[in-house]
Amino acid sequence: MADRAFAATRIPGFATVAVAVFAVLYLPILTLVAYSFNANNSIADWGGLSLQWYATAWENEAVKEATVRSLVIAAVASAIATAVATMAALGTTRRARFRGQTFIYVMINQPLMVPEIVTAVALLILFGVVRQALRGMGVVDLGLTYLILAHSAFCIPFAYLPIRARLEGMDLSLETAAADLYATPWRAFRRVTLPILAPGIMAGAMLAFVISLDDVVITEFVKSGGQDTLPTYMLGQMRRAITPEVNAISTALLLLTVILLTAFFLLTRKRG
């Protein structure tokens, strides 16, 4: 019967289109990766294998600074976002519905709904006002605080969703058992809930990290002079003549993303 159902699901041409789609989806990315190893000085002509563009990027102070800045922002923002998202997920799942729960959902998912350019402009205005007020009070520079705050906010839904999914699949009876065995609520949380929840938290943190690392639009509007992250540095480079150096940076960033996503995939995979 399974065989018959399979035959009926065949629609002529669909498989061809699908294979073509996968090819078109990956060819540009693979080309970009290939040309990052190009020995030639241009991104059009192939001149043999070389790591020179990685060396160029590695020696470029601006690239180094932007990389460190990107990683610092992504690490701090994803840690903050994951911490508050875990709390929010614990507050909004596995309990009786309460007034305002829908409001909390909407607020948490808000960054997924509002176009990035609108949030970017909103933060440009807000932080402009704050900067001016602080300057008036004699506080000069808050450094990366603005970027970290902005990134923490839009990372929250990405951290929240996998954690909530994990919580919803969890068995309440385990914690009840812990309570029956005289565990205090805090002890039950630390010894029972948290270890089971851990893969969800890790998955949420990774998504948040990737999302922060990839952000262009909001960072471009919020950053002050000399605060380029890797993506905004690349965007700036694209205005000028593009060198394969950008390919090398892209490839490195791509590799990091794929590693994190594979880990995410393995963490959230259903067992059994």
Partner 1 sequence: MSRAEDRARAANARTGWLLSAPALAILTVAAAGPLLIVLVYSFLTPGRYGNVVWDVSLDGWIGVLFTRDIFDGTLRLAEAHLAIFWRSVWLSLMTTAITFLVGFPTAWFIATRPADRRAVWLFLITIPFWTNLLIRTFAINEVIRNDGILNSLLIGAGLIQAPIRILYTDTAVLIGMAYVYLPLMVLPLYAAIDRFDMRLLEAGYDLYAGRLGVLRRVILPLVRPGIVAGSILVFVPSLGAYVTPRVLGGGKNMMIGNFIELQFGQGRNWPLGAALSILLLAIVMAALLVYVRATTDRGRDHG
- Identify which range of 54-62, 89-97, 167-175, 193-201 contacts partner 1 by CB under 8 A: 89-97
CB of 33: closest distance to partner 1 in angstroms?
Answer: 9
Q: Which residue lies nearer to partner 1 by CB, 192 or 246?
A: 246
Taking the complex as a whole, the smallest distance from the CB of residue 136 to partner 1 amounts, in Å, to: 15
**Which residue of 21, 51, 174, 259 would you call a contact of partner 1, by CB under 8 A?**
21
- Subset of residues 143 to 162 that bind partner 1, contact rule: CB under 8 A: 149-150, 152-154, 156, 160
Residue 194 binding partner 1, by CB under 8 A: no
Indicate the residue among 183 and 254 with the shorter CB distance to partner 1: 254
Q: Least distance (Å) from partner 1 to the CB of residue 111?
A: 5
Draw the binding track, 35-54, toward partner 1 (x: CB under 8 A; -: no contact).
x------xxx----------
CB 101, CB 264: distance < 8 Å: no
Nearer to partner 1 by C-beta: 108 or 201?
A: 108
The answer to whether 179 contacts partner 1 (rule: CB under 8 A) is: no
73, 178, 208, 210: residue in contact with partner 1 (rule CB under 8 A): 210
